[in-house]
Structure 1
Amino acid sequence: MTTTSLRCAVLDDHQDVAAASADWSTIADRVEVVTYRDHLDDEDRLAARLADFDIVVTLRERVAFPASLLDRLPRLALLVASGMRNSVIDHAAAARNGVTVCGTGSSSTPPVELTWALLLALARGIVPENTALRTGGPWQQTLGADLHGRRLGLLGLGKIGGRVARIGLAFGMEVTAWSRNLTRERADEVGVTLAGSQRELLAESDFVSVHLALGDRTRGLIGAPELALMRPSAYLVNTSRAAIVDQDALIEALREGRIAGAGLDVFDIEPLPRDHPVRTTPHLLATPHLGYVTRDNYATYYGEAVEDIRAYLDGAPVRVLR
């Protein structure tokens, strides 16, 4: 492959910050970089947009690259995805089409912080109180939920779940955790209680937060039967993967007041259509997948994307995903 006249597409740069988040000048003499702020979820339109690009940079799992799309991009040679794991890229199809797939580093701090932003805002009614204050509404209309002495139940106790747990402990909460592979040794290491079962954790927690990887065993892990186990005063937060929680069942539970509220940063469809029911569901605090959207994280993502591109052009790809 010649290293002249190569073109790179940077997808879903919603905030128009990709160019300023890294030093792209190190590859400017070999690659023309084009950024796109919009999101395309139609495969035909996406295939047409990317037809003339040799390199594509995509954030997390915002854009899927199935075989049907990769087969339509004969010019594509390098696909860079932020993070070191991506479930929406067909790696076998990429290999078959001669596409090298590379990842980047990331930090576990931003999703931890957003988890607590959602949880605290739910507990203290921050959004409705702020809205009322700024629009001339009633002075004090919600009754906050205390954290100290309450039980925080974590589904998953990995790197992110462990950090969330330690903050809960700092608030004086009783923290329990459960996952199919969670050991007592890991729970003891973090200083939390190992729940006897998922059912026990859901039934006895005042706040439940999801921190699991998406896979065959976690897809749909929380559906209508599981939501029915939760207390009417309990809150659910999901900043992990949308498919772990049955979105329709959660919307129904919130509309019927069977749980006190929920905080979501991930959704079955992203970006959410304007008429999506999530936008009008009561007792739901939702953010547009902001978990990893921070200055420092973007500096890592795009900075290492440039490194990936430069290394590939030099014939020694780094951080290759398979």
Structure 2
Amino acid sequence: MASNKKKVLVLGVIHPEGMALLEGRDDVEFEVLTDYSEANVLRHIEGVHGIAVRVAPVTRRIIEASGCLEVVSRHGVGYDAVDVAACTDNGVRLTIAPRANAPSVAEQAMMFLLVLAKQLTAFDPLVRRGDWARRGEHQAIDLEGRTLLVVGLGRIGSRVVRRARAFDMRVLGYDPYIDQDAIRTMGAEPVADFRAVLSEVDAVTVHCPRNAETIGIVGAAELAALRKGALVVNCARGGLVDEAALLAAVRSGQIAGAGMDVFDVEPPAPDHPFFQEPRILMTPHSAGASLEALKRSAYQTIENILATFDGTLDPAVVVNKEVLQGTVAS
């Protein structure tokens, strides 16, 4: 006898707080796949109404094979691995979890700025080796009074602005999609052309999606235009900061240091040249993976699926809003 329950496929393990939402619904059944290759997902996709996904690719073949798919819910805010056009073509809502990782990523960006400014990775080994007297070989700086450029002022970038202001930094904000008065309200000075102010900038952090407009937005020309000894942070998406240009700028001394949570290719190759450069600090695309962020992500990921089933989905979390016409009140 066919089940009347909605079926959810969870691609990858998510925090128990999200799973508890599924477990609490008598009208929903679910399956968790740890092998989320396309071939394996296709073996389990028939009759699936909702997909919760962390990092697995969700291809057109997967989207079209279900026969009744209503929603693909991303565990986070990036959706590079989801075929958005296929979702739209098939009337499938693609949702994100915008409340989830913004505080965590904003804190990570500030962590990079502080660690770089205060020379933590240079000073800590000196203490451990007993080379106390060599501390004068490294020069820490203060963030107070320095100028930070924040490129991208959405949920994460706006939080970075507030945190940087708490350190008494001057903050310039660039985002062509946000009203200048709104940028001022965040606490940043709006700039219409960020390249025109780079000579004033001591540090830059990028918080943009990856697309044709933003790939390489910080390249060789932008790095050269920054104040000598500037700091560069990318906790957004690989490719926004040109890796080859950044390496050259660090080695030349134009850039004093960089913090990179993301890479062009992930994971980076074992011989990636960044590994030989101690002034480039790296984390494994983990800025949004704090305990709190994982809880929030898991909860909202499943919440979005259940809200789709219940007809209460918030349009603000839907990427392809055109599929909502006539289905969800705005």
Per the TM alignment, residue 230 of structure 1 is displaced from its structure 2 partner at its CA by 1.8
* Residues 38 and 57, structure 2, Cα contact 8 Å, conserved in 1: no
Residues 94 and 250 from structure 1, CA distance in 2 versus in 1: closer, same or farther, beyond 3 angstroms?
same
- TM-score, normalised via structure 1 length: 0.80
Counterpart Cα distance in 2 of 1:100 and 1:159:
21
Alignment-derived partner of residue 264 in structure 1: 260
- Pick aligned residue for 1:51 from 37, 42, 46: 42
Matched, 1:204 2:200: yes
Residues 218 and 301 from structure 1, CA distance in 2 versus in 1: closer, same or farther, beyond 3 angstroms?
same
Stretches of structure 2 that go unaligned for 5 or more consecutive residues are 321-330
Residues 276 and 2 from structure 1, CA distance in 2 versus in 1: closer, same or farther, beyond 3 angstroms?
farther
Residues 123 and 8 from structure 1, CA distance in 2 versus in 1: closer, same or farther, beyond 3 angstroms?
same
Counterpart Cα distance in 1 of 2:58 and 2:217:
25
Per the TM alignment, residue 277 of structure 1 is displaced from its structure 2 partner at its CA by 2.9
Residues 50 and 317 from structure 1, CA distance in 2 versus in 1: closer, same or farther, beyond 3 angstroms?
farther
* Residues 18 and 299, structure 2, Cα contact 8 Å, conserved in 1: yes
1:149 aligns to what SS in structure 2? coil
Per the TM alignment, residue 84 of structure 1 is displaced from its structure 2 partner at its CA by 5.8
2:104 aligns to what SS in structure 1? helix
Moved more, 204-213 or 115-124: 204-213
Residues 181 and 7 from structure 1, CA distance in 2 versus in 1: closer, same or farther, beyond 3 angstroms?
closer
Per the TM alignment, residue 295 of structure 1 is displaced from its structure 2 partner at its CA by 2.4
Residues 90 and 253 from structure 1, CA distance in 2 versus in 1: closer, same or farther, beyond 3 angstroms?
same
- Pick aligned residue for 2:213 from 214, 217, 226: 217
Counterpart Cα distance in 2 of 1:121 and 1:231:
19
- Pick aligned residue for 2:313 from 298, 315, 318: 318
Counterpart Cα distance in 1 of 2:166 and 2:191:
20
- Pick aligned residue for 2:114 from 116, 120, 133: 120
* Residues 114 and 290, structure 1, Cα contact 8 Å, conserved in 2: no
Per the TM alignment, residue 85 of structure 1 is displaced from its structure 2 partner at its CA by 6.1
Alignment-mate amino acid for residue 108 of structure 2 = L
Identity of aligned residues (%): 28
Alignment-derived partner of residue 43 in structure 1: none
Per the TM alignment, residue 83 of structure 1 is displaced from its structure 2 partner at its CA by 4.0
- TM-score, normalised via structure 2 length: 0.78
Alignment-derived partner of residue 269 in structure 2: 273
1:177 aligns to what SS in structure 2? strand
Alignment-mate amino acid for residue 31 of structure 1 = E
Counterpart Cα distance in 2 of 1:105 and 1:80:
11
1:153 aligns to what SS in structure 2? strand
Alignment-derived partner of residue 175 in structure 1: 171
Alignment-derived partner of residue 80 in structure 1: 73
Residues 236 and 99 from structure 1, CA distance in 2 versus in 1: closer, same or farther, beyond 3 angstroms?
same
* Residues 80 and 102, structure 1, Cα contact 8 Å, conserved in 2: yes
Q: Alignment length, in residue pairs? A: 306
After superposition, where does 1:17-56 map in structure 2 within 5 Å?
Answer: 18-19=15-16, 22-23=19-20, 24-27=22-25, 30-36=28-34, 46-54=37-45, 56=51
Counterpart Cα distance in 1 of 2:258 and 2:313:
40
Per the TM alignment, residue 116 of structure 1 is displaced from its structure 2 partner at its CA by 0.6
* Residues 4 and 27, structure 2, Cα contact 8 Å, conserved in 1: no
Counterpart Cα distance in 2 of 1:145 and 1:7:
51
Alignment-derived partner of residue 327 in structure 2: none
1:299 aligns to what SS in structure 2? helix
Alignment-derived partner of residue 145 in structure 2: 149
Counterpart Cα distance in 2 of 1:48 and 1:169:
49
Counterpart Cα distance in 1 of 2:118 and 2:150:
20
Counterpart Cα distance in 1 of 2:138 and 2:68:
54
Counterpart Cα distance in 2 of 1:35 and 1:162:
35
* Residues 227 and 253, structure 1, Cα contact 8 Å, conserved in 2: yes
* Residues 266 and 289, structure 1, Cα contact 8 Å, conserved in 2: yes
Moved more, 187-196 or 262-271: 187-196
2:122 aligns to what SS in structure 1? helix
Counterpart Cα distance in 1 of 2:51 and 2:280:
35
Higher helix share: 2
1:260 aligns to what SS in structure 2? strand
Counterpart Cα distance in 1 of 2:304 and 2:187:
38
Per the TM alignment, residue 6 of structure 1 is displaced from its structure 2 partner at its CA by 5.0
Counterpart Cα distance in 1 of 2:98 and 2:3:
28
Alignment-derived partner of residue 244 in structure 2: 248
* Residues 229 and 253, structure 2, Cα contact 8 Å, conserved in 1: no
Deviations 1:195-229 (A, max 9, x none): 46322332221111112333332222111111111
Alignment-mate amino acid for residue 40 of structure 2 = R
Stretches of structure 1 that go unaligned for 5 or more consecutive residues are 41-45
Per the TM alignment, residue 261 of structure 1 is displaced from its structure 2 partner at its CA by 0.7
* Residues 206 and 235, structure 2, Cα contact 8 Å, conserved in 1: yes
Residues 160 and 306 from structure 1, CA distance in 2 versus in 1: closer, same or farther, beyond 3 angstroms?
closer
Counterpart Cα distance in 2 of 1:27 and 1:160:
32
Counterpart Cα distance in 1 of 2:269 and 2:67:
31
